[in-house]
């Protein structure tokens, strides 16, 4: 695999969009795999009670498995719960289990309820060399997603190339602005990735154009095509990058990862 420039300090991304099914998990997992394949040390934190990122990375996440829930609500450290991916040497995952479904409510009454991920993550990154962290969020703007925004410096928003793509985006951006103002001044929307692109439809092309007009600096040049191989890979507990390395979907995630690496962290 081609080597990519490694960031001098860990880049922490929250992959967020309050809509479901727009490609958050697929993007978190495949960018992570692509960067690990290129030699970076990468951590994926599954913050969705569905546990889709854990499934896609082939890590254990049965109800009894130590998970991100024990970090957020209990007093486990990241190193107590992190698992190595079976796929790549440099790829690690903090899994989510079904217990996380209750965390949204349990967090409400905890001290420093917005810092429950940031504090243990910072401690873990001080002791372990990681180049990239991707936090996969649930499809809501509740306390789990707020914890992800507080723990990150960069927000990556996947946008599906379809008619309603921009709907809800202004709400997402104003929530991020509130977090930046009150909880995490370092937070920036650095990256927008267009997903599930179908070049045969005029509509998809119109969405691509609209998003590029609105966010010229954030949108990656690479667009992720709609691809059956991408949607099949998770059922084998693999990223598309190893499931079918030369498929168009795999190549597009490798290219998007390279763009992210070459752009570097925002100033
Ligand atoms: P989210 O995490 O935002 O809910 P997912 O990443 O789980 O979204 O994607 C939703 C569904 O679409 C999944 O079944 C996934 O496999 C599929 N999918 C995601 N990206 C693509 C793509 N580029 N081509 C085809 N299917 C995709
Ligand atoms: Mg998801």
Domain ranges for the chain: 11-263
Distance CA 82, CA 93 (A): 6
Q: Which residues contact 200 (CB under 8 A, 6 or more apart)?
A: none
pLDDT for the residue 162: 87
Could you tell me the distance, in angstroms and rounded to a whole number, from the CA of residue 197 to the centre of ligand 1? 12
Query: In degrees rounded to 5, what are phi and psi of residue 93?
Result: -140, 135
Parallel/antiparallel/unpaired status of strands 154-160 and 188-195: parallel
What is the number of the ligand closest to the CA of 18?
A: 1
pLDDT for the residue 2: 63
Q: Which residues contact 185 (CB under 8 A, 6 or more apart)?
A: none
CB of 243 within 6 A of ligand 1: the answer is no
Decide: 56 and 233 in contact? Cβ < 8 Å.
yes
Q: Which residues contact 167 (CB under 8 A, 6 or more apart)?
A: none
Distance CA 25, CA 29 (A): 6
Q: Reduce the DSSP state of residue 249 to 3 states and report it.
A: helix
Residues paired with residue 91 on neighbouring β-strands, in sequence order: 42
pLDDT for the residue 164: 81
Measured from the Cα of 17, ligand 1's closest atom is 3
pLDDT for the residue 201: 87
**Predicted confidence (pLDDT) per residue in 128-143, tens digit:** 999 999 999 999 999 9
pLDDT for the residue 174: 95
Q: Among the CATH numbers 3.40.630.30, 3.30.365.10, 3.90.226.10, 3.40.50.300, which is that of 11-263?
A: 3.40.50.300
Cβ atoms within 10 Å, residue 74: 12
CB of 226 within 6 A of ligand 1: the answer is yes
Write out the two tokens for 94: 């903090």
Distance CA 8, CA 137 (A): 25
Could you tell me the distance, in angstroms and rounded to a whole number, from the CA of residue 217 to the centre of ligand 2? 25
Could you tell me the distance, in angstroms and rounded to a whole number, from the CA of residue 175 to the centre of ligand 2? 19
pTM for the model: 0.98
Distance CA 110, CA 125 (A): 23
Low-confidence ranges of the chain (pLDDT < 50): none
pLDDT for the residue 1: 52
């Amino acid at each position: 695999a081609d080597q990519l420039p490694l960031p001098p300090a860990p880049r922490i991304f929250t992959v967020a969009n309050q809509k479901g099914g727009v490609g958050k998990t697929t993007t978190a997992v495949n960018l992570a795999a692509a960067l690990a394949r290129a030699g970076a040390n990468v951590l994926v934190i599954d913050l969705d009670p569905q546990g889709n990122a854990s499934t896609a990375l082939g890590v254990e996440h049965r109800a009894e498995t130590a998970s991100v829930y024990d970090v957020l609500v209990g007093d486990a450290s990241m190193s107590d719960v992190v698992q190595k991916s079976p796929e790549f040497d440099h790829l690690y995952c903090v899994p989510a289990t079904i217990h996380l479904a209750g965390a949204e409510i349990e967090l409400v009454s905890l001290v420093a309820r917005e810092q429950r991920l940031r504090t243990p993550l910072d401690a873990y990154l001080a002791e372990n060399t990681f180049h990239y962290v991707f936090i996969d969020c649930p499809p809501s703007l509740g306390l789990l997603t707020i914890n992800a925004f507080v723990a990150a410096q960069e927000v990556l928003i996947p946008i599906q190339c379809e008619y309603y793509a921009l709907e809800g985006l202004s709400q997402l951006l104003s929530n991020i602005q509130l977090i930046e103002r009150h909880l995490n001044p370092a937070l920036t929307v650095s990256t927008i990735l267009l997903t599930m692109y179908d070049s045969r439809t005029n509509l998809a092309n119109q969405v691509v154009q609209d998003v590029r007009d609105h966010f010229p600096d954030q949108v990656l040049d690479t667009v992720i095509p709609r691809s059956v191989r991408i949607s099949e890979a998770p059922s084998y507990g693999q990223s598309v990058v190893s499931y079918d390395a030369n498929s168009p979907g795999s190549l597009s995630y490798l290219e998007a990862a390279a763009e992210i690496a070459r752009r570097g962290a925002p100033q």
